[in-house]
Amino acid sequence: MVAKLLIKNIFRHKLRTFLTVTGLALAVMAFCFLRTVVTAWDAGIEAAAVDRLIVRHSVSFIFPLPYAYKEKINKVPGAEKVTFANWFGGTYIDQSHFFARMAVEPETFFDVYPEYMLPKDQYETFMKERNSCVVGADIAKAENFKIGDIIPLEGDIYPGRWEFVVRGIYQPRDKITDGTAMFFHWKYVDERMKVEMPGREGDVGWYVIKINNPNQAPYISENIDALFANSAAETKTESERVFGQNMMGSLNAIIISMNVMSFVIIGVIMLVLGNTMIMSVRERTSEYAVMKTLGFSSFHITGLIAGESLIIAFIGAGAGLFLAMPVIQGFSQVVPKGWFPVFFLEDITVIFAGLSALLVAFFAALFPLIKTLRMKIVDGLRFIG
């Protein structure tokens, strides 16, 4: 009967319950969306391997390093494998078709980045053709790239028209690995630079070093930087994670704001439901007094009030999650590929939303519950709402 009364109480003021549930649903949807943006942003950093170091120019990432550094870095104790890459930039069709395009050393790149899984036959074909490229499965699907297709790019950092033949489609190893990048031969770019822009040949964007022992990372970094101290191109070596964080440094404030906002939303939900619960319980003061008079215990009253709060919170959270899925899906379709290589509603966000609903239900019910349990029956019976 308590359960029946609970359900009937929830729908006693249908409009109020509807507005509260709608408010909760919209807030949970916004919470899930913001959390997804934050986790998508963090995913790039999280995906960073602990056994990789990045060597860049000490002044800025945009300044190149000499190709000649490779051999020297190779000899540093603890460096297992060295590869390098250049940010190519360029435009495919227009700016809305954005995805990461990088010139890499194919002989070593896929050994250092095993999370980009390329079939052996495709790798072999890619190695044989200097103007070939490999694209991620996600961008291949989005742009309808197939093996043998030619991808034309209009260069900006490397001016001119460039054409690359798709010879491989890599699969990301897991959900947090970017499946939207394009890789091609560094030598192909470098040879053209030699001819068209003498002086820019032999430029490397950054080196990536796979190390034997992640615990040795600070020591190896120090040794590498010491090698090039007082040279024309001094280096700064750091872990891949720190490198990623520094790269995104300017946007960190926005992400922190979004993070804070997502928790402010939880507070807003709490106030919305808290207000509803206070109004509902206040209206029923004399009914709770009658129930106490009839012999219903604090346990029953707690069940009625907390149960109502819990059910409303979970209906709202459920509706919010239901709404969040298409919104997040839609957003991932609208934003250019590469902004968020991975953008999906993570399980942890769903769990977080569920726990938040539980927390909100608890705090929203707490004040009216304490008040009702402390209420003297005679005062409750006299109450005129």
List of residues contacting another protein (CB under 8 A): 1-2, 4-5, 8-9, 12, 286-287, 290-298, 376-378, 381
Binning the chain into helix, strand and coil, the percentages to the nearest 5 are: 55, 15, 25
- Looking at beta carbons only, is 27 or 291 nearer to another protein? 291
The SS3 call for residue 155 is: strand
Encoded tokens for 211: 């190390």
Q: Greatest CA separation found in the chain?
A: 96
- The single residue listed with the structure tokens 């909760």 is 24
Question: Of 137, 138, 167, which is closest to residue 150 (Cα–Cα)?
Answer: 167
Q: Which residues pair with 101 in a beta bridge?
A: 182
Which residues are CB-neighbours of 56 under 8 A, at least 6 positions away? 65, 205, 206, 207, 235, 236, 237, 238, 243
Which residues are CB-neighbours of 148 under 8 A, at least 6 positions away? 165, 166, 167
Work out how close the CB of 15 gets to another protein at its nearest, in angstroms, rounded to a whole number: 16
- Looking at beta carbons only, is 6 or 255 nearer to another protein? 6
- Looking at beta carbons only, is 109 or 288 nearer to another protein? 288
Give the β-pairing of 182-185 and 206-211. Answer: unpaired
- Looking at beta carbons only, is 134 or 369 nearer to another protein? 369
- Looking at beta carbons only, is 10 or 82 nearer to another protein? 10
Work out how close the CB of 9 gets to another protein at its nearest, in angstroms, rounded to a whole number: 6
- Looking at beta carbons only, is 4 or 161 nearer to another protein? 4
C-alpha 157, offset from chain centre: 28
Measured CA to CA, the distance from residue 197 to residue 35 in angstroms comes to 45
Question: Of 365, 379, 355, 359, which is closest to residue 35 (Cα–Cα)?
Answer: 355
Work out how close the CB of 300 gets to another protein at its nearest, in angstroms, rounded to a whole number: 9
Work out how close the CB of 360 gets to another protein at its nearest, in angstroms, rounded to a whole number: 25
- Looking at beta carbons only, is 28 or 291 nearer to another protein? 291
- Looking at beta carbons only, is 51 or 287 nearer to another protein? 287
Question: Of 172, 188, 173, 187, which is closest to residue 140 (Cα–Cα)?
Answer: 172
Work out how close the CB of 248 gets to another protein at its nearest, in angstroms, rounded to a whole number: 55
**Whole-number Cα distances in Å, 171 to 64, 166, 197, 371:** 29, 14, 35, 59
Work out how close the CB of 378 gets to another protein at its nearest, in angstroms, rounded to a whole number: 5
- Looking at beta carbons only, is 8 or 128 nearer to another protein? 8
Work out how close the CB of 1 gets to another protein at its nearest, in angstroms, rounded to a whole number: 4
Work out how close the CB of 309 gets to another protein at its nearest, in angstroms, rounded to a whole number: 17
Work out how close the CB of 290 gets to another protein at its nearest, in angstroms, rounded to a whole number: 5
Helix 298-334 / helix 2-10 crossing angle, nearest 10 deg? 50
